[in-house]
A and B are shown apart, each in its own frame.
Chain A
């Protein structure tokens, strides 16, 4: 579904990605693990059109989307749940959901919001509240729901477990699992290797801007994965 071919993305002169290739198959959960600064977020940003790769290409459903405007990419069916959630704190829950549907111009937005409320009753309870007053877990739910409003075929998620209590992390991962069961492909960036591997169909390990391993969760000893996901290879 999503093919990333040998992309190089740089901040000024510093190359954060030094030729990353990976593929996200339709209907699966693909996890990208790696230590801080490995380039995980940069990879997502390059896919979502927020950073332009210097080299290489990104194709989605067979079409080249490299360097396209973020709006075009969301319209094609790729939505992003950003790191730290980034909900709009002074907007109420309802309006936050509407921003997720910004690129759409059909008239089913309100009915989609209704079905979001059915899936997340806690958001419905708080629909008129400012997003900034929600708890961390509720904000994460809102960020996921907001991305769903774009009716994505593929969801990019950047560390959804960051800063959340373990119980809430489990709930978030259950939501991710359910979404995938309903047919949404997931590309998940995580630090929490332990939890991520439980729902992953396949995973990649990113270290210092390069993919150093790819396979299915059984392919590598879990302790080693966790070690390398947190600390990188200490050779």
Chain B
């Protein structure tokens, strides 16, 4: 029983990182309605920039975190310009394949500059375990959870209390109507991309800092963890992204503990597959469906 609770707790912590990735995915998907496969790889660029700062300047975790976010943003801007801004409307497939091409490019760039298989990454410091009623929690996990919650709170304020947030929501819901209101959709997309990349950078830092090794495969993992968590929660929904991320974290953690790494990954994809077949709208589907039904009744 203690094990079960312990694994659930650990799962929630990892899930918080996944949730941030899924939020970034959902933000980009919301304003663009296109899939950005290069999301994870652009975060990976940030992570490697962080590693670079760490290795060459022996920097502490805060400068490394900042470098990670900056690197993710720069790579994100590159992806946005190449794969979305430059490709004309209506060519969503070309955009998606283009993000894949850029992914390959970024991954190779990293392996050329960092030829070793793995690199060290700073942890959030040497910290004690916190114990409570037989459960233990690594202090950095707690910090990770705290930062994730803080990020979600900030994001909520940004989306629901600011003019920029209003424009992001407007473009996500209906780009044509947003243009009619005088909103410059291209600029909103660009800024939403920067925001998503920054969130991704934080998520990348947190995920790597708790498991302090870096590999070029991080890009692939980040893209697919974020994608799975987004789909589990329901595309375009931020509460969904959080729920999906946490669910994914918990399921992975339990499967890992019981059956090992292969079953962990298997379970993640099986869960995704089952959700798509039986509940394609994700965890949050009920809300959307209920609203649509209500709208139909009132017309």
Contacts and interface: CB of A to CB of B under 8 A. Distances in A.
A102 B174 contact: no
**Would you call the interface of chain B mostly helix, strand, loop, or mixed?**
helix
A88 B299 contact: no
Contact of A99 (B176, B181, B295, B298): B181
Contacts of A132: 291-292, 294-295
Contact of A136 (B167, B182, B299): B299
A90 B163 CA distance: 17
Interface string A93-123: 0010011101100000000000000000000
Most buried by B among A69, A88, A103: A88
Contact of B295 (A75, A88, A133, A150): A133
Interface in A156-183: none
Contact of A90 (B167, B184, B291): B291
A70 B170 contact: no
A190 B175 CA distance: 24
Given A95-B166, A132-B292, A75 B182 contact: yes
A98 B169 CA distance: 12
Interface string A49-69: 010000000000000000001
Contacts of B173: 88-91
Contact of A102 (B182, B292, B294, B299): B182
Interface in B169-192: 169-170, 173-174, 176-184
A70 B179 CA distance: 7
B291 A99 contact: no
A154 interface: no
Interface of B: 163, 166-167, 169-170, 173-174, 176-184, 291-292, 294-295, 298-299
